[in-house]
Structure 1
């Protein structure tokens, strides 16, 4: 049991302790306290003799000032000088009396030494508890003495922390409920190497840390304190004495749960969730991801269905994703963040799922539900930067700690945030462990790493004179490179079947090359599994935004991606970034009347799903939402309401996405050889006047799929395309112009026979009718 006190006011010697303010609730009893209550006839010990037992003046001053590095050496029970008995000292601010209670129930009153200090010399070594009386409280509180416990953090943990190699850092730092020497409580541990002192504050001590100073564990910079009786759900922070003597109150960087923003306290948490996805995890790594179907639905959880909790989302999201056929969902950042308008990209609680939607176990329930529906879960992860909120990571112990010490490298010029010091071993450990934490504690199947380019370049968004070159005179951030390599290597080694994905917008060589393979840049591969293809996204959207009559002048924007398609392992993203901030939604980017815009979207999605690489589509775009995304309102679901006059138009696009995913899954030619140039062959890539692109995809057995995209509103009859001669007839397996998708219905339901006429360098050909603004897929019969 830990006492409650109301403020940090000092109590003068021999002065009557002050009663806690009436606005504070009476201290609640900790679980199990009733079992510790003294019987009325418990034997009483002799009165205390204080003169030789009081805390020395130097220690007393440092404890009250919050600058003591080893309170356990002073407080608690210690052998008395000469080896006769033991000295017992306690620091209980605002208490009026403290009694030491022996294991046999014998009580010895401690002398009140003033300012919350109490002491006595007991006859012999004893394991004692404290009976603490507070003014205004009818019954005294019986509690364990925190300062009798040995450190609850082992030497191996401290060694690994010091080396920056603790891959399960979350098990060593933060608030962890545990039982020590038969007593249950919470071990608090925090890394603050520049602090002159650290104290735990929380609801259990009325946010007054004077009575709960932590001890420093050697040169590691870790501070530790085990508090008996503090359990699940308690709010807490750390009160840190900075090098200049000032105090700051900081949330726990390793907190696994937080208060609901805008409140900022950390919460003691323990998981009780029983996973039901063992089968999913057992088979997750059966097939290499690069040789498997992989289509992603990007979701902002807080706005997908505004107002739903994690558990309510678990009732709706898996069913919707399964209906639309996506293999994975990608969640925009779920780690705790103070400002909802940042969409989670300015993180303060790297180890805590946002409490806006529920508890960490509630989030586990959602992930589990998706897995049981056969859907993988990716998560946006943001190690590039963090916000400046004074209660969070910024200047955590009074000096730059998580951020870089060089002001030029610490501040992000675009976002007003701070950049991690990737060269510091403990900071790198904090981030690497965080990546594995989400995969292991929450069964996340992949991390999409945000803003990788901003990490890789020292001159990112900086002008001449605002940055300094690396030791080789270059602009590459060598510390960030090493961090990303270590993160990827660790995640892949510990979590089979998990994928890491880079949002990297430059031509950095080897983003998805293994870390042990060197490239032209000499840095070795970064080790990501996949990379967002920002070039394809930009070029293709520029193309479809042109009027059809002008597209012939921009035809190369649709073909250029194949020049570098196999230089990395790519994802083709139409993400949230492309449908906000004046960029317009996908359907609204496109010129023409309403029919032409929807038709172009359908043709574009057909082209996207057939193009080498994996696919990602942001929520709302799967049914041609016309407005930009808003985090306040989410997708315009009313467009699919049966009573809405144009609902069939939107439902047609949604049905096409479901059909694309279904046919895609069943067509190995579209995913088995995504990283093999031999799996792709142009049929016609230069038909700019016709706005036509046609290519073949091949599976491992050599079976082809023909994809033809036509971005003109005209109908082209008898359009000849060269095909392999060994196939006698081809069957249309998908046509985005089908009436059920909202198209004009120009389809070819019967197989098309191969013509022996040579075309496009092939000995045989097909004659097709190309629908307006449509993509058609065909396979040999």
Structure 2
């Protein structure tokens, strides 16, 4: 009997479409590798293009098939267009320039002057690895970068563990109102991440971007780590130090689009609008005002695949979170669509070329480093996205469980506490495709941006500024802190295969993110993290951080992700949720006013002890439960039953001895 696609009989009617996509992928692999199936050898563009120093010369190569002439200009020739620095054409639409070693020196600035039939313009090389911005003019230039090579000291983590991810932005990782650096993050933030118990860091905004306020999602220079945070070697030292701490580092990679800029981006690089991108309306993203890659071009595939390999090989990143996957996979970018049935994944609105590229990228990444892993950000729920390529999937290791964050926002905004339905809650938290691994989160950077609200802001609003001191108790703040803890525990405890939080949200950072812009007088006040709140014993933020630390410590000791959560009790009238996962029993009382004495439920026979309790005073709770008490099952009518006291708005975890 023929197996169902992804183990889902509902997809059988779309088998031919899924097979066609997979066959297109196989044909593209054969084309790119000349039949060898070794995709890594076809992703070495970064070793050919761009600026390279050889023992006796410099060589610079660019792909610009529409250009009629290409010149190099910079500090070395007073920024003049000079025939002495003219490239010569070579096969494949490429241009090459050789220069004596003494011509260029480390630190020099340069650009290209590209001419075409009806125009010309300054351009930054597409594969350039170092771009810097002038402090006064704010203009970006390429920079000759030939320092002493960084010497790696530590191996990349090899153990396959569930990713507990700390999503972070280097620039806003400091408390000062400025742009923090790679060194600052390595020295000040990395030890905190390790101490808290996260085993993975997801770094945003690393690929160079002209506009700081884009959060790194308007990339101009795909091979250049952002110089506003420091040097490439300082980024390497950060990653190396993370590896020393057995922490993996994932790059938030942007291959879904590119900045629309021409002088410092890829747009109209050789005078044509469709060199890297689609022509016409399809080449511009109407909402993001950015350029959309043409994934059907082999040269574009080579560029993007080479970019993946570059970050793995040169910087030893341990994987990628692919941004904007939904936008890539659909001709309409998924804008304004609710994906309510399977037909919407196979109705002709899908960009098969983009889907093929994502499959190629996953093959390449795992080929280059078998321990690397990939995460897809997709709001559409495309089946097979996180299924293996051999099973006709697109090959991501994980997908972001994006609906969970939306669920928490919706329940907080639309329902009173008394209306929370724990059965619906358990369903939403555990509703995942069985064949796919997922990363759950309460809030990422999306929920922390101006225009949205973090969990703590949804819970406390202006009380964040007036009532977070330890000298008095406001019932609304007590509610907020209690729900902040148990919502995060419920999300982590039901997570499919991993968990994520954004920098600062774990301790209820009191302010949103707003990067410097014209509308806020270019202020950095909200583009930073106030770490000092954690050490201020007069404030209550530290309690949330301590709970997160203990929560992660418990999960890191227990192999819960190998076991699906099994609900024991889903009592809607009581608002009590109890479920089992491995040796742990998770008990939640979301009821805002009712505590329950001798609450009974059937469980495996034996003795149990509390190993985490949100109501402990060390987490700003009320100590209503004795953590030292040993709970033993009772035999009632032939069933093993545990009876416990469950205070209102409390969660605790029992471990079977």
Structure 2 length as normaliser, TM-score? 0.84
Partner SS, residue 133 of structure 2: coil
2:610 and 2:379 map into 1 onto residues whose CA distance is 36
Q: Deviations over 1:15-56 (max 9, x none)?
A: xxxxxxxxxxxxxxxxxxxxxxxxxxxxxxxxxxxxxxxxxx
Partner SS, residue 527 of structure 1: coil
Query: Structure 1 residues 425 and 611, CA, compared in 2 at 3 Å: closer, same or farther?
Result: same
Residue matched to 2:482: 599
1:554 and 1:710 map into 2 onto residues whose CA distance is 9
Residue number among 511, 531, 544 corresponding to 2:385 in the alignment: 511
Residue number among 529, 533, 541 corresponding to 1:639 in the alignment: 533
Query: Structure 1 residues 199 and 564, CA, compared in 2 at 3 Å: closer, same or farther?
Result: same
Counterpart check, 1:683 vs 2:568? yes
Query: Structure 1 residues 462 and 720, CA, compared in 2 at 3 Å: closer, same or farther?
Result: closer
Q: Map 1:394-405 onto structure 2 (within 5 A).
A: 394-405=267-278
1:548 and 1:777 map into 2 onto residues whose CA distance is 26
The structural deviation recorded for 1:463 is: 8.7
Residue matched to 1:769: 645
1:580 and 1:767 map into 2 onto residues whose CA distance is 43
The structural deviation recorded for 1:295 is: 0.8
Residue matched to 1:736: 614
2:278 and 2:493 map into 1 onto residues whose CA distance is 48
Residue matched to 2:554: 663
Tell whether the 8 Å contact from 1:754 to 1:766 is kept in structure 2 after alignment: yes
Residue matched to 2:501: 617
Tell whether the 8 Å contact from 2:66 to 2:272 is kept in structure 1 after alignment: yes
Residue matched to 1:713: 592
Residue matched to 1:701: none
Tell whether the 8 Å contact from 2:179 to 2:228 is kept in structure 1 after alignment: no
The structural deviation recorded for 1:255 is: 0.7
Residue matched to 1:333: 205
Tell whether the 8 Å contact from 1:755 to 1:765 is kept in structure 2 after alignment: yes
Query: Structure 1 residues 621 and 393, CA, compared in 2 at 3 Å: closer, same or farther?
Result: same
Counterpart check, 1:755 vs 2:624? no
* Largest Rg, 1 or 2: 1
State the Cα RMSD in Å.
Answer: 2.6
Counterpart check, 1:223 vs 2:95? yes
Q: Map 1:507-546 onto structure 2 (within 5 A).
A: 507-518=381-392, 525-545=393-413
Counterpart check, 1:406 vs 2:279? yes
The structural deviation recorded for 1:301 is: 0.8
Residue matched to 2:604: 724
Tell whether the 8 Å contact from 2:507 to 2:541 is kept in structure 1 after alignment: yes
Q: Map 1:65-84 onto structure 2 (within 5 A).
A: none
1:743 and 1:357 map into 2 onto residues whose CA distance is 40
Tell whether the 8 Å contact from 1:548 to 1:712 is kept in structure 2 after alignment: no
Query: Structure 1 residues 579 and 308, CA, compared in 2 at 3 Å: closer, same or farther?
Result: closer
1:418 and 1:304 map into 2 onto residues whose CA distance is 29
Residue number among 584, 589, 601 corresponding to 2:453 in the alignment: 584
Structure 1 unaligned spans of 5+: 1-155, 519-524, 674-678, 699-703
1:432 and 1:667 map into 2 onto residues whose CA distance is 37
Which fold has the larger relative contact order, with Cα–Cα distance below 8 Å and residues 6 or more apart in sequence?
Answer: 2
Residue matched to 1:357: 229
Residue matched to 2:581: 697
The structural deviation recorded for 1:440 is: 1.2
Partner SS, residue 720 of structure 1: strand
1:402 and 1:719 map into 2 onto residues whose CA distance is 67
More helix by share: 2
Q: Deviations over 1:207-247 (max 9, x none)?
A: 113221111112x1111011112232221111111132x21
Partner SS, residue 564 of structure 1: coil
2:35 and 2:172 map into 1 onto residues whose CA distance is 43
Tell whether the 8 Å contact from 2:600 to 2:644 is kept in structure 1 after alignment: yes
Query: Structure 1 residues 630 and 335, CA, compared in 2 at 3 Å: closer, same or farther?
Result: same
Partner SS, residue 386 of structure 1: coil
Residue matched to 2:543: 652
Query: Structure 1 residues 500 and 209, CA, compared in 2 at 3 Å: closer, same or farther?
Result: same
1:598 and 1:166 map into 2 onto residues whose CA distance is 52
Partner SS, residue 125 of structure 2: coil
Partner SS, residue 431 of structure 2: helix
2:232 and 2:532 map into 1 onto residues whose CA distance is 31
Query: Structure 1 residues 601 and 479, CA, compared in 2 at 3 Å: closer, same or farther?
Result: same
1:598 and 1:232 map into 2 onto residues whose CA distance is 53
Size of the aligned set, in residue pairs, is 580
Q: Deviations over 1:247-271 (max 9, x none)?
A: 1110111110011363211112235
Residue matched to 2:520: none
1:693 and 1:243 map into 2 onto residues whose CA distance is 69
Structure 2 unaligned spans of 5+: 1-31, 338-342, 461-474, 516-523
Counterpart check, 1:479 vs 2:353? yes
The structural deviation recorded for 1:408 is: 2.6
Residue number among 554, 568, 584 corresponding to 2:436 in the alignment: 568
Tell whether the 8 Å contact from 2:69 to 2:86 is kept in structure 1 after alignment: yes
Residue matched to 1:171: 47
The structural deviation recorded for 1:395 is: 0.9
1:335 and 1:653 map into 2 onto residues whose CA distance is 32
Query: Structure 1 residues 462 and 737, CA, compared in 2 at 3 Å: closer, same or farther?
Result: closer
1:622 and 1:753 map into 2 onto residues whose CA distance is 34
The structural deviation recorded for 1:567 is: 4.4
Residue number among 344, 348, 366 corresponding to 1:492 in the alignment: 366
1:780 and 1:488 map into 2 onto residues whose CA distance is 40
More moved, 749-758 vs 506-515? 749-758
